[in-house]
Each structure stands twice: as C-alpha cells, then as structure tokens.
Amino acid sequence: MSEPQTPLRIGVAGASGKMGQLLIQEVCRHPEVRLAAAIDLAHSPLIGQDAGSRLGVLTGVQVSSDLSALSAAEVLIDFTRPEATEQHLAACEAHGLALVLGTTGHDPRALESIARFADHHRLVFAPNMSVGVNIVLKLLEMAGAALAEGYDIEVIEAHHRQKVDAPSGTALKMGEVVAKAAGRRWPTDAVFAREGTTGARTDQEIGFSVIRGGDIVGDHTVLFAGLGERIEITHRSSSRATYAQGAIRAALFLRSVGPGCYGMDQVLRLNSSLAS
C-alpha cells in the first residue's frame, strides 16, 4: 500500500480580498492541502496578521507583501488582478512553484508571459474554476455542434457592480467553445455591442449581452434561438466558494503532471486524452 501524501502547501495571492479569504477558508477545511503562504499588497490591512484572523481561524501564516514568502509553498492560487500576473509569474519561477491562475482580462503581452511560463512550469489557467461551469462548457460543445444551422446564438452574462471587465472571461470562453463547435470564426463572428439601426443579424454572429449590478456572483446563459423553439443552457453561481473549491482541485491535479498549461476540462478529466 502506498504511503499517503503529505498535504500540498498552498500559497494564496490577494489574501485580504473576498476571493482570497474564501480560498483561505476552503484550504483550511480541505484535508489534502494546508496554507503555507498568504500575500497581498503592502497597504492591505491584514499585513502582519494571521491570514485567518477575519475568519476566526488561526493558520500560523502571516499575510506578507514580500513575495519571497511564497518559498514556503508548492502552488500559488491567484484570483487577483491582471496587472499583478507578471510579478506572480516571476515569483513562481524564482521559487519553483506551480500556479493556478483564475485571473481574467489579460492583455496580449501578459498572455505571452503566461504561455512562456507554461513552457517550463505547471499551470492551470482557466477563466472559471467552478466545476459546474466546466460541465456547462462540455454541454455547449455538444449543443454548438448539433445546432450549428438554423439557430441564432446569444451569450448573456450578469455580474456584481464591482466587476471591471466585460464580457466576463467565462462568457468569452463560452462563446469561443460554441463558435468552434458550430464552425464559426472566433472572435470574428462575435458581436459585442448593438445600438441604433443595426440591421438584421447575420446567420454566423454570436451576440453578447452584459449586465452589471448589485451583488450578483455570476450568471451565464447561452441561448440557441431557432424557428419554433429555443434552448437555453444556464449556470448560476450563488457563492464564490465553488471557485475556491475548483481551484484546490486544480492545485492537487498539478501534483501529478509535468510542465504545461492545463484547463479545468483536464483537471476534471473531461478531456478524453486524460480519461484513460
């Protein structure tokens, strides 16, 4: 019988933010991982305090603005802002960490840096770490192929009023998956704005609608509208905890693979090449 593995040492970026606190909470609950580092900006009110102090949990890990604190971890989970990605990539390279990256809104230069990182390091990079969302992506692949002709496709997403990028990374990924399955050109056939006299829609376009308001965690619907029927595939998030739980699954997945950029479909073994 093989020996049980020691808990995976996790570092959390943005430790004082909403997502960072959820990650710390879920890491503390999970029997296969433990918190080893917590980092944040120098002006964070939690700097120098125990990472679990707001949660009523003593982790023994102080929040630090010094990225060298990551040397205690094996994997960094990052759901912060795209402008922080370059620094976090460099820190992971310097200290030999794998990376779970759920940040969206990167510019082309940052995407190139992410790709270079994955040439020699282990990375899960996904716009949405929710298990349910990634199941929906597989359903969309099936629907897009079956409904490629005779159906108009629209992606509708809603998020809280503080979200700064639009459409969401998840909505864009849904559009990309459907476009590929339906034989449409991505992103050429995407329509992100309609105003004034737009004329009739084309057969190939994939429309996007964005709602921002209140504390909506995240709703996504892909509508296939045909003549006489319509099909809607919807995912609604009621808690960000699903993203944290998915990120921990991604971190554990990286323990058993080599360098490369992996998606949540591979983490969840929805990809046939890893399902054997």
Q: What are phi and psi of 154, to 5 degrees?
A: -130, 140
Q: Distance (Å, rounded) from C-alpha 77 to C-alpha 257?
A: 17
**Known catalytic residue at 159:** yes
Amino acid at residue number 180: K
- Which residue matches tokens 């459409």? 167
Active-site residue (options: 106, 159, 173, 220):
159
Q: Distance (Å, rounded) from C-alpha 13 to C-alpha 37?
A: 9
Q: b/e for 156-182, b at 16 or more Cβ within 10 A? A: bbbbeeebeeebbbbbbbbbbbbbebb
Beta bridge partners of 100: 77, 124
What value, to the nearest 5°, has the Cα angle with vertex 137 and ends 183 and 18? 135
Identify the CA nearest to 117 among candidates 92, 136, 139.
92
Query: Which structure tokens are listed for 83?
Result: 């402008």
**Known catalytic residue at 180:** no
Q: b/e for 57-68, b at 16 or more Cβ within 10 A? A: eebebbbbeebe
Phi-psi region of 260 (alpha: psi -120 to 50; beta: other; left: phi over 0): left
Residues carrying an active site annotation: 159, 163
